[in-house]
Chain A
Amino acid sequence: MISLRDIHKKFNPDTHNEVYALRGVSLDIADGEFVTIIGTNGSGKSTLLNVLAGTVTPDSGAVLLKGKDVTRQKDFERAKQIARVFQNPFMGTAPDMTIAENLLIASLRGRRHHLRMGLSASRRIFFAGQIKRLEMQMEDRLDNIIGSLSGGQRQAVSLLMAVIQKPDVLLLDEHTAALDPKSAAQIIRLTKAFVESQQLTTFMVTHSMQQALDLGSRTLMMHQGQIIDDIPAAEKARLSPDDLLDKFAQLRKTEKLTDAMLEQLRREYR
C-alpha cells in the first residue's frame, strides 16, 4: 500500500545548521497494518511522517501510495488519501468555528468545495451520529465553538475528523504527548477502536515504549535518520519495555549509540 524508496532529506544544506534528517529510508507497509515508530531525539521520526504527509519534500527518493508516485504532490492534494492528527491538540481544529463546521471541513477532505449550503439538516444528523462515537456527550453541543473545549476533547475531535472520511493512511504524530494521562488513555482507547473498526492503515509516532508495544502490528525503531530495527507482531508480543531498552543498549555496544544518548533514552521512555 505505501512504499518509501531510499528517502534522503537534509535541512539547511551546506550551512552551519545543516541537519541530515533522513538517510536513505526505505519501507514497505501493507494494507491495514498498524505501525508504531519510536526513536531517539532527532532520529527523523517526525520528518518521516511529514514526508509521508507531503508537508516536506524529500531531496531524493520516492513515496508511493497504492502504487502511484506521490513524492511531488502537495500536502493538500495528498490529503484526500492521508489524514493526520498533530501532537498539538490546538493544531487540528479551527478554534473560532463550531464543532459542526469543523466536522464539515473534515468530511469534505479531498473533495471539492462548492457553493452549496454547508450545514444542511441531513449533514447535521450525520455529524451528530458521528460524534456519538467519542462518547463524550457532545451530541447537543455541535454548535459550540471549538475554542471552548479542553485539550483532550479537542484532540478527540481531531481524531474523529481524521477518520470521519475513511483515509487510506492515518498518521498520528505523538498525538497524546501533550495530554494529561486520563485524556491520553481515552484517546488511545478511541484510536484503537477507530483503527480496528475501519481497518485503517496507520502510522503512529510515539514517545511511550508501552504504547509502542501495546498498539499496532509492527514497531519500527529509528536512529539518526535510519530505521535500525523492525519488530513484527509476533516478537512484539513477547517484549517488555525493558527489553526494548536492552535492544538500545546493544546498539551502544555496536557503537551506534553514545552513553549520553542511552541515558537520555532511559529518561525519556521511563
Chain B
Amino acid sequence: MAMGVFITFRIHDFPDITVDGSFVTGAAMTAVLTVAGVNPWLALLLSFLAAGAAGAVTAFIHTRFSINGLLAGILVMTGLYSVNLHIMGRSNIPLLSEAGVINWIKTLNPGLPYEIWLCLVFGLILALFWLLISLFFRTDFGIAMRATGNNPAMAAASGINVNAIKLTGIAMANGLVGISGSLVAQYQGFADIGMGVGSIVFGLAAVIIGETVLPMKSIWMKALGVIAGSILFRLMVALALYVGLDPIDLKLITAVFVLAILIAPKILQARKAKTGAAADMPSFIRHRAWALGLLAVAALCAIAGYALFKSNLFAGKPKIRIGVVQMSDHALLNLTREGFVKEMKNLGYEDGKNVALDLENASGDMATVNSILDKFIHNRVDAVVTISTNCTQAAISKIKDRPVVFATVANPFIIGAGASDTDHLPNVTGVYGAVPMDKMIELTRTILLGKIKVGCIWDAAQTNSVFNVNQLKAEIARHPDITFAGATITGSADVQQAAQALVHSGIDAFVLAPDNIVFSALESVIREANARKIPVIIADVERLADGALAACGYDYTQSGAQGARLVDRILKGEKPANIPFERYSKLTIGINPDVARKLGITLPASLLDKATLITGGTQKEKPAKRLAVFVFSDSTILELSTKGILDELRESGTLKKHNISVDVKNAQNDYPTAQAIVQDIVRQKYDYIVTASSLALQVTANGNKTIPHVFGAVTDPYRMGIAKNAADHLPNITGVATFQPVESTIAAMRAIFPKAKRIGLVWNPSEANSEACTLKARAAARKYSFELIEKTVSRTDEVKDAVTALVTSGIDVFFTSGDNTVILTQATVAQILQRHKIPYFTNDPSDVERGAFFCVGADYYQVGRETAKTAIRVIEGAAPKDIPIHEYVPEAIGVHQGLADRYGVVIPEVFLKKAKVIKR
C-alpha cells in the first residue's frame, strides 16, 4: 500500500486519494471470489486488476481532461464507493473460515509459533517485493516512468508518451494498493465497506517517514525506505498502545510524530543555508541522517515520556528505590509485605517522599517473577526485597550486583543463599524462620491426646532435613506416649508411596519437618492422609491452605519488619556480606477449620485462642483477573449497553467475588484502532472479553481465538459468521442477540392504523444492521398486508430529499430502524413528516423526544445487563461453547400522545400500558 502511494505521490507527483477506494476494491474482490470458492491466488490477481482498473480511470480523467490529480482521485474514490458496494452485495463480508492466501501460509507452518512463522514468511515476501520493485525502476521502462514524474516536459521531448506512462504507473500503484486491501481482508477475517478510510494518510506517512529515515537517492534505498516507513509507522502505533496510551491520544501523538518528521528537513535546510555548508554530497547526507535520527529519537522519547507520565510510573523523583516482590496475593505474604512497609515508615522511609517502593505481585507465576526482577534491574532499584522462597531463589540467581534481602523464607540454605548464617552470598541477607521441633510436638499434643504414633517423611540426602528430623526424634523421645514412624525418600515420586506406607502402618498424624521435596509433593501426602482422615501437621504456615490441619510457623508480620530493619542498615552503608542471616523466632500457629471439619476433629478452644492464623476454605487465593469491555464507538445505544454491563457486573458482586478488574476500551469508530485494541487485549492475556456492537464483535472474533468472549448489543450475529445457529457457534464466543423488534413495530402500525396501506422506509445499504432490519421489514410488511416503499441513501444530506420524495409519492406511515445515517438527521425528518401528518415509527423509544410518533425498541441498558449475566455464567465456570446464543429483546415502547391527538388517532390501551416514554 505504501509502495502504491509512493509511486503516485513521489514518482507521479500527486497524492492519489483513489487509494481509499481501491484498497476496498481489492478487499471486496477477494472476499467475494473467495466466498464463491475461487482459487485464492486467482482471486488475488483479479483484485490486483480490479484495483488497477480504478487507478486507470483516475489516470484517464487526469491526463485526458487535464483535471488536477487530487481532484481526479477524489472523484474516482467517491464513485468507487458505489462500485465496491455492488461488488460486495452487502456492506460486510466475513471471511473467518474461508480459505485464503494467509490460511494457506498457515498450513505450511513447520511448527514454529504462529506469529514468528508469519513474520518469517512476510519478511521473505517483503524482501522479494523490494527486489522486484527496485529492479522494475531500473529498467528502461521504470526509468522512463521516473523521468516522467520528475520532468514531464523533458520526458515528452525525449519521446516518452507521458499520458500513457502515467496511466500505467497510476494503475499499477492502485493495483498494489488493491493487493494490500486483499491481504488485509484475509488477515483480519472480513471485508467491510469502511475499511479503506484513512489509507492515503497512512500511505503518505509511511512514505515520508521512510524518506526521512533513509534519505539516500538510489532507487534501492528509496524503495527500502517506503517499506521501512510502513513498518515503523505500524510499530509506533503498537508501541503507543502497549504502553497504555488511550486510543484518543494515539491519533494525536501519531500526527505530532509525522509532523516532526516533516518539519525536520526544513529546519535543517534553513540552518544549512545560513551556515552555507558545502554541497559536498556524502557528508551532507551523513549530517542530515544524523540530525534526523536524533530528532526521531527525541520524538520517540517524547512519546515514551508522555506514556510513562500517564502510567504513573514517575510519581516525583525520590532518591532511593526499592523493589519488593512477592509470589502471590497470599494473605501471609501480604502480612510480611505490610509489616515491611510499616517498619520502613517507622524508620523514616516514606513511600513517595524519600523512597520509592515498587510493590509487585507475581500472581503465582514464576515467569512473572522473572520479568518483575528484570523490571527492577531496569528501573535501577537500590535493593530488592523478596517475600517467599521461590522469589528469593529467582532473585539470588539473577541479581548479583545489588543487595537482595529476603523477608520470608523457610530455609535459605537449601536454595543456595549460603552455607551458614555468616557464610553466605555477598549481596544477600535476610530473615528466615526455623521452626523449632518441640513446638511442633507441642502443637500435635494439643490436638491429639493419648497415645499416638506420628509419621514423618524426609529426604535423607538433605542435611537440613536430617537435622530437623533428628531434632524431631529427640523431642518425641521425651514424650513417652508418642511413637515415631519414619519414611525416607529420594525424589518427589517416592512421596506418595512413603505416605501410603506410613498410613498403612497405623499412624495417627503426619508431622512434617521442613523438607523441600516433601513440601513440593505435599498434595500426595494430604491425599493419602485424607483418605484415612489423618491430620497433617506441617512446619510451614504457607502450606496451610493446601489441606494441612495445623501448622507451626513464624510471625510473618514481624519478619517483614525485621527485613525492613536489615534494609535500613544496608541503605545506611553496611554491606550485606557483613550482615548475617537472622532467624526469626516469634511463632505463628495456624489452623485450618475446614480441614478440621472434614476430618471430624474438634479443635480445643485453647488452641483456637492461641492460633494466630485461621485459614478458611480449601481454595487457593484467587489471583486477580482482568476483564476487558470493548465497544466500537460512543453512540447512545452503546453507552447504555456499557452502563448496563458494568452495573450488572458490579451489583451482582461478581467482580469482588472473583477479584476481577475491569478495563473499558473504546475504538472511537475507527478500524485500525479497533484492531490494535484487540491485538493488545490478546497480548496482555485478559481473562475475559465482553463486547458491545456488531463491529466490535467481528474484529474481536477474528483477532482472538482463545479468550472467552461474550457479546452484546449485536443485532445479527449469524450474519457476521460467528455462528450458524444458536447452539452451533465458535467455541470461545457466546452472547446475546438483540434483533430489532421490526415485526412488533409493523404489527403496532396495523393495530393503530387499520386502514393504512403504504409504509415508507429510508435506509443506507452500507450499514449492515440496516440491511438486516430492512429484510425483516419486507417480510413483516407482507405479513401485515402493507406495501413497503424503500429509498436508499449513502449520506446524511440525501435523507431529506429521500423522505420528501416518499411523502410526495404518497405514503401512510413512515418507518426507519436504527439506521445511523437517518438518525443523524432525525429532527429534520420528523419535521417533514409532522408537516404532512405522516406518523413516524422507529425502533428507539427515546425518539419520541425528537418528534417520532411511536417507537418499539430494545432497552439497551437491559441488553447490557443481560450480556453481563451471560458473562457472569462464564466467569462462574461455564464454558462459552456450552452456552447457546440467546435472543433478548426487552421491548420498550415510546408514545407521542401529543401527535396522536393531532393526527386524531387513539393508541390502544395495551401499548400505553407498556409504554416507557410518553410525550404529551
Contact = CB atoms under 8 A, between A and B. Distances in A.
Interface residues of A, number: 38
Given A108-B140, A113-B140, A148-B281, A95 B159 contact: no
Contact of B159 (A79, A93, A97, A102): A79
Interface string A185-221: 0000000000000000000000000000000000000
Nearest to B139: A115
Secondary structure of the A contact surface, majority rule: loop
B504 interface: no
A105 B144 contact: yes
Interface in B153-211: 153-162
Interface in B657-676: none
Nearest to A161: B158
A111 B154 contact: no
A106 B159 CA distance: 9
Given A105-B160, A106-B158, A108-B158, A97 B150 contact: yes
A252 B147 CA distance: 47
B6 to A, nearest CB: 14
B466 to A, nearest CB: 81
B151 A91 contact: yes
A113 B160 contact: yes
B718 interface: no
B321 interface: no
B142 A118 contact: yes
Contact of A115 (B141, B151, B155, B157): B141
Contacts of B160: 76, 79, 105, 113
Given A76-B162, A84-B157, A144-B281, A97 B147 contact: yes
Given A84-B157, A113-B140, A94 B146 contact: yes
A117 B281 contact: no
B125 interface: no
A14 to B, nearest CB: 21
A92 interface: yes
Interface string A49-81: 000010100000000000000000011110110
B141 A97 contact: no
A118 B143 contact: yes
- B146, B156, B162, most chain A CB atoms within 10 A: B156
A15 B336 CA distance: 96
B519 to A, nearest CB: 73
B135 to A, nearest CB: 8
Interface string B582-594: 0000000000000
Contacts of B622: none
B144 A116 contact: no
Contacts of B154: 91-94, 105
B217 interface: yes
Contacts of A111: 159
A148 B143 contact: no
Contact of A104 (B140, B157, B162): B140
Given A94-B151, A148-B281, A115 B159 contact: no
B158 to A, nearest CB: 5
A115 B143 contact: no
Contact of A110 (B141, B159, B281): B159
A97 B153 contact: no
A80 B154 CA distance: 13
Contacts of A113: 139-141, 143-144, 160
A9 interface: no
A83 to B, nearest CB: 8
Size class of B's contact patch? 20 to 34
A97 B146 contact: yes
Contacts of B217: 96, 145
Nearest to A55: B156
B161 A116 contact: no
B139 A116 contact: yes
A153 B337 CA distance: 79
Interface in B73-112: none
A43 B147 CA distance: 33
Contacts of B161: 74, 76
A109 interface: yes
Contacts of B270: none
B138 interface: yes
Contact of A114 (B141, B147, B151): B141
B151 A95 contact: yes
B151 A79 contact: no
A94 B147 contact: yes
A119 interface: yes
B223 to A, nearest CB: 14
B910 interface: no
A168 interface: no
Contacts of A95: 150-151
Contacts of B147: 94, 97, 101-102, 105
B279 interface: yes
Contacts of B143: 97, 101, 104-105, 113, 118
Contacts of A77: 159
B150 A96 contact: yes
Interface in A117-146: 117-119, 144-145
B396 to A, nearest CB: 60
A163 to B, nearest CB: 13
A118 B219 CA distance: 13
Contacts of A75: 156-157
- A76, A86, A105, most chain B CB atoms within 10 A: A105
Contact of A79 (B140, B144, B146, B156): B156
Nearest to B165: A113
Given A91-B153, A94-B146, A144-B281, A105 B158 contact: yes
A148 B279 contact: yes
Contact of A109 (B146, B150, B159): B159
Nearest to A102: B147
Contacts of B142: 115, 118
Interface string A145-173: 10010000000000001000000000000
Contacts of A86: 153, 157
Contacts of B157: 53, 75-76, 79, 83-84, 86, 92
Contacts of B150: 94-97
A111 B154 CA distance: 15
Contacts of B281: 144-145, 148
Given A91-B151, A148-B279, A76 B159 contact: yes
A109 B158 contact: yes
A114 B140 contact: yes
B384 to A, nearest CB: 57
A229 to B, nearest CB: 30
A80 B159 contact: yes
B13 to A, nearest CB: 11
Contacts of B158: 76, 79, 105-106, 108-109, 161
Contacts of A93: 151, 154
Nearest to A90: B151
Contacts of A74: 161
- A76, A79, A92, A106, most chain B CB atoms within 10 A: A76
Interface in B203-229: 217
28 contacts: A53-B157, A55-B156, A75-B156, A76-B161, A79-B159, A79-B160, A84-B157, A86-B157, A92-B157, A95-B150, A96-B146, A97-B147, A104-B140, A104-B143, A105-B147, A105-B158, A105-B160, A106-B158, A108-B159, A109-B159, A113-B141, A114-B139, A116-B140, A117-B138, A117-B139, A145-B217, A148-B281, A161-B158
Given A76-B161, A115-B136, 7 more contacts: A83-B157, A86-B157, A96-B146, A105-B143, A105-B160, A108-B140, A118-B140
Top 7 nearest A-B pairs by Cβ distance?
Answer: A79-B159, A94-B150, A113-B140, A113-B144, A110-B159, A109-B159, A94-B151
Interface of A: 53, 55, 74-77, 79-80, 83-84, 86, 91-97, 101-102, 104-106, 108-111, 113-119, 144-145, 148, 161
Interface of B: 135-136, 138-144, 146-147, 150-151, 153-162, 217, 279, 281
